[in-house]
Amino acid sequence: MNQILNFRSPNLILAGFGAAEKLGPEAKALGAKSALLVTDKGVADSGIADTIKSILVKEGIGVEVFSQVKPEPDLACQDACIAIARKGKYDLIVGLGGGSAMDVASVTAVMLTNPGQVTDYVGADLIKKPGIATILLPTTAGTGAEVTPNAVLSDPAAKGKKVIISPYILPRIAIIDPYLHISMPPSVTSATGMDALAHAVESFTHFTKASVITDVFAKEAMIMIGRSIRTAVAKGENLEARYDMAIGSLFAGIALANAGVNGVHALSYPLGVEYHVPHGVANGLLLPYVMEYNVIGNIPKFAAIARCLGEDVEGLPLIEQAYAGAEAVKSILSDMKMAHSLTDLKIPEEAIPAMAKAAAANTRLLSVNPRAMTAADVEGIYRNCL
């Protein structure tokens, strides 16, 4: 109650089946004449990039395509996109894909109006001017990059991530069309979906920034993802499940943008950096174990998570309700045949001390975890995942 509520989102969010068709009229309304469509090879090969391009062309907007975005893009990939963008006279950047393509698109847009190098802007609130207009369209249901003010680039030399945080990273318009998700394979659906679920759980239990506004989005995200993630993985053409996952992921992204992540993401980064485990797979594995650890930090909220995930906890003592949330996540992982242990991911026990040291150094995330977490605690959680 002592909190000043603070809420940021794109100027416009269009979501639902067929929303992508609105891209053309919206781009025209922004005055766009020439757009750079930023995407990755997989999306280009799937034909989705051509579909999106034709929607813009129909409105008389010229479109060039940059389809070289790599998974976990590094600075070289980002610079390649900026170089192309600086050569053209674009007045609109359209980002199409997962978090990687959308982040590269957002950073490119601000580098067209701000001088210098991308590395000048790594950190919080260093970008001076808004970029050119951006419209982002996710093709996965998970990262939330279409509604978050952060862009993440990998830095292989430093074995770490570079994060740019600025309100100018938010797009002008986010368009979430579940039709664009139908062809997503089960492994990507499960991994990105677990990333979204982690965003919702971590934002809901964020120590300082969870608010009545972010809780509304986080809870609804957990309900929608909890009831539909298995079905979306089992049958990609199930439209109801795809809708729930698309909107659930959007809501989790909005919660993430305005509260944030903590323990799960802190512990998952070393798995990605050192062992190249996909972000969502690492988060999925760690989520129930970090939840179990965190329960006593906020018992009522962890009990609420169990209810959002559909657990029948009526009549149980509150503490048992709270632990039921972690069990519900384990059951989701098991049904989707996702990695259950570090061993499943071929990460040896000997790797744990170094990973624990790296995760414990992430004080930005661990300081806002609902329960204090030392390096020894982190090591204990990794050992529970063996």
Residues that bind Fe ion (CB under 5 A): 195
Least distance in Å: CB of 265 to Fe ion? 6
- Of 200 and 305, the one with the shorter C-beta distance to Fe ion is 200
Specify the pairing of strand 92-97 against strand 34-40. parallel
Least distance in Å: CB of 134 to Fe ion? 20
- Of 49 and 222, the one with the shorter C-beta distance to Fe ion is 222
Of the candidates 355, 357, 334, 343, the residue with the CA atom closest to the CA atom of residue 385: 343
- Of 40 and 195, the one with the shorter C-beta distance to Fe ion is 195
- Of 23 and 197, the one with the shorter C-beta distance to Fe ion is 197
Question: Tokens 């934002």 identify what position?
Answer: 203
- Of 195 and 220, the one with the shorter C-beta distance to Fe ion is 195
Least distance in Å: CB of 283 to Fe ion? 6
Whether residue 232 contacts residue 193, with contact meaning beta carbons closer than 8 Å, is answered with yes
Name the closest residue to Fe ion (Cβ): 195
Least distance in Å: CB of 313 to Fe ion? 27
- Of 194 and 313, the one with the shorter C-beta distance to Fe ion is 194
Least distance in Å: CB of 279 to Fe ion? 6
CA atoms of 42 and 98, how far apart (whole Å) = 10
- Of 91 and 195, the one with the shorter C-beta distance to Fe ion is 195
Least distance in Å: CB of 384 to Fe ion? 21
Tokens of 319: 């503490």
Least distance in Å: CB of 189 to Fe ion? 15
377: number of Cβ within 10 Å: 17
Whether residue 360 contacts residue 366, with contact meaning beta carbons closer than 8 Å, is answered with yes
Q: Which amino acid is at 24?
A: G
Whether residue 38 contacts residue 94, with contact meaning beta carbons closer than 8 Å, is answered with yes
